[in-house]
Amino acid sequence: MTVVKVIEVVGTSKEGWEDAVKTALKGAKETLHGISGIELVKQTATVEDGEIKEYRATVKIAFKVD
């Protein structure tokens, strides 16, 4: 029997939302193993002077529990 845990993390990027998702996954890979899936939950951004300064991607990451 396999047990999977799902956590929610936020990745940020100055480049775009896709890069923010990749940043979130990269950070999660540093401490988790057995990642089996990722779901984009929300995309947001900070704006200054009418320009996007930082993209944020909230994602759910699924990984196998040992």
DSSP summary character for residue 34: -
Q: Is the pTM of this model over 0.85?
A: yes
Range of the domain at 26: 3-65
CATH number, domain containing residue 17: 3.30.1660.10
The pLDDT value recorded for residue 6 is 97
Burial of 15 (0-12, 13-18, 19+ CB in 10 A): exposed
Whose CA is closest to 17, among 51, 52, 49? 52
Q: What's the number of domains the chain is made of?
A: 1
Place 2 in a pLDDT band, splitting at 50, 70 and 90. Answer: confident
The pLDDT value recorded for residue 48 is 97
The pLDDT value recorded for residue 36 is 95
